[in-house]
Amino acid sequence: MMRGTDIIRVMGVAVLAICVQTAQAGDAGKIGVMDQQAVMERSKAGKAALEEIKQYSTARQKIIDADEQELKDLEQSLQGSGNKLSEAAKQEKQEQFRVKVDAYQRRLQDFNREVQQKQRDMIEEYSKRIAEVAQIVAQKEGYLAILDKGNEALLRIVLYHHPGLDVTDLVVKEFDRHNK
């Protein structure tokens, strides 16, 4: 069974093979490459979306930091008053601490899931929007195909390309025009 990255790589090779065959058949067409991540990071709408995710994450982190501090304070009070409390009172405070730790861990997991889901949703939305704009650039400029060259963090389909084939700047400009 093929993994998702293998399927994407095969698809990229297939698209490239079709473009080469078309070019060899006498349909001299251009092939371009772009860096989808760079479009996201350099376009105005992309920057705004990334900033929104950052603010969302920072707000969640402040809540987690406050919870952490509360746990530290409670732990210190348990250690400081350990000899002064009866065994029943000690056990009650320890149970309160355990319940708070459990709640903290659940909240941390929930927040992490929320942030990751928000990031996935944003990436999915912007990938579609960037693909639409790349198609517009291809049609305007006469490209047979524009391939996402990827990056080290993700799947890299295009291993080498001549710098003149890079249309990232054109896609950024067109993306900004369509996303004011």
Domains and CATH numbers, the chain: 4-178 (3.30.910.20)
**What count of Cα atoms within 13 Å lies in the side-chain half-sphere of residue 84?**
5
pTM here is 0.71
Tokens of 75: 């732990």
Q: Are 39 and 171 in contact (CB under 8 A)?
A: yes
Number of neighbours of residue 134 by Cβ within 10 angstroms: 25
pLDDT tens profile 104-161 = 999 999 999 999 999 999 999 999 999 999 999 999 999 999 999 877 766 667 878 8
pLDDT (mean) for 159-177: 91
CB atoms within 10 A of CB 97: 15
